[in-house]
Amino acid sequence: MKLKKYIAGFLPAVVVAAAAGSVSLSVAIAAQAEDIQDLSKLFNMRECLNCDLSGSGLVFSDFARFNLSGTDFSDANLSRSDLRGANLSGANLARASLLGAKLNGADLSNANLSGADLNGVDLSNANLKGANLRGADLRGAYLVNADLDGANMEGVYLRGAIGIPTSAATASEFYTWGVMEAQGGAHKQAIAYFNQSLEVDPDFAFSYLGRAISRRFLGDWPGAIEDSKRAEELFTAIEHSEGVEVSSALTDALENPPKPGKSNSEFGAIVNTIGSMLLQFLL
């Protein structure tokens, strides 16, 4: 099905129609259509199976609960569109822009979302089983209760996403995001990432060390000391001499804080040393 030509002039037509208040969205689109039957099916029957909408501009479109299974949206612009509850199973959304779109409750099982821009997208309760998300941008996305079972998450950008399932990333990846947040002073978010890292791998020493630093900055001294000691135990077990030395020094600094009015330069020096080591691990 060829629907591409109606996209030419789509936005200008809609803007003019909206300003005049005389033409509905469906009429404005139909005025640009080459295939009225396909458009009737798309907007009246709320479905378009295996349609070709690749490269189309469909910003702010209302496709909520539409059946778009198998449709080709590759390179399309669906930014800010409403796709809540839509059936997009097996759809091709490679490199599509879905910036700020609503996809909560949508069926994206086995869909191709490789390289797609999903920045800030609401994917809560979405079905992403078996989806290809390779290289997709999910920064700031809302993923609470999203089903990512069997999804290809290789090279996905997830920093700042909310509700990332533990299965969606490795301990090292969660740790990396934690270090980045800590560097920016966002220690609560850093701890959240370190926690997820340790859910994936409870023996990941670097995450204990990073979390110890963030806990210290948030005033949780007991928690910081506990994490620092645990990091030392784990570094000892894997014979990581630098990790043992640094975590031991951190524990000592935490257990013997400077007296009121005294300089805290010793702790600052230890933090700088730890920061360097944590960053080296990222390289």
Q: How far apart are CA 209 and CA 163, in angstroms?
A: 23
Residue 95 located in a structural domain: yes
Contacts of 193-197 spanning 24+ positions with Cβ under 8 A? 196/164, 196/166, 196/169, 197/171, 197/172, 197/173
CATH code of the domain covering residue 278? 1.25.40.10
pLDDT for res 273: 64
Q: CA-CA distance, 126 to 123, in Å (whole number)?
A: 5
Instruction: Tally the domains of the chain.
Output: 3
CATH of the domain at 101: 2.160.20.80
User: 21 lies in a domain?
Assistant: yes
CB 119, CB 97: distance < 8 Å:
no
Task: Tell me: do 176 and 277 sit in the same domain.
Answer: yes
Is the domain of 210 the same as that of 250? Answer: yes
What is the predicted pLDDT for the residue at 85? 98
Give residue 19's pLDDT.
Answer: 37
Axis crossing angle, helix 241-255 with helix 265-282, rounded to the nearest 10: 150
Amino acid of residue 148: L
The boundaries of the domain holding residue 182 are 171-282
pLDDT of 188: 95
- 58, 38 contact by CB (below 8 A): no
Per-residue pLDDT tens digits for 72-116: 999 999 999 999 999 999 999 999 999 999 999 999 999 999 999
pLDDT tens digits, 130-168: 999 999 999 999 999 999 999 998 888 888 899 998 888
- Does one domain contain both 23 and 57? no
d(CA 34, CA 20): 24
Percent of the chain with pLDDT over 90: 55
pTM of the model: 0.69
Residues 128 and 112 in one domain: yes
Q: Is residue 163 part of a domain?
A: no
* pLDDT the model gives residue 264: 59
Which of 158, 191, 224 is a domain's end point?
Answer: 158
Is 164 part of a structural domain of the chain?
no
Q: Are residues 63 and 136 in the same domain?
A: yes
Q: Examine the domain organization and report whether 77 and 18 are in the same domain.
A: no
Domain membership of residue 52 (yes or no) is yes
Residues 143 and 97 both lie in one domain: yes
Give the 3-state secondary structure of residue 72. strand
Q: How would you write the pLDDT of the chain (283 residues) with one tens digit per residue? A: 444 444 433 443 343 334 334 334 443 443 344 345 555 667 777 888 998 889 988 899 999 999 999 999 999 999 999 999 999 999 999 999 999 999 999 999 999 999 999 999 999 999 999 999 999 999 999 999 999 999 998 888 888 899 998 888 889 989 988 988 888 899 999 999 999 999 999 999 999 999 999 999 999 999 999 999 999 999 999 999 988 988 998 898 888 876 665 555 555 666 666 666 666 655 4
Q: What is the pLDDT of residue 10?
A: 42
